[in-house]
Amino acid sequence: MPKKESIEVSEAETFASYNEKLKLKYGDNWLGRGKCTGLEFKRWLALRDNLAEIP
């Protein structure tokens, strides 16, 4: 199975803008059934929780 490409996080990225990018790439139910990559999910959680270091 080919490796999925993860969406990168820019320096000015916000939780809302990254969430929108994931919705555009995978559809509204992007979180379900392992559609996103693990790295994308970790980045999404870090932005959601306002962590200083984004994976």
Q: What is the mean pLDDT of residues 25-47?
A: 87
Q: Who's near 27: CB < 8 A, 6+ residues apart?
A: 35
Q: Which two tokens stand for residue 32?
A: 């379900």
Is the pLDDT at 1 greater than 60, yes or no?
A: no
Across 1-10, average pLDDT? 77
**46 contacts: CB under 8 Å, gap ≥ 6:** 53, 54, 55
User: What pLDDT score was predicted for residue 5?
Assistant: 83
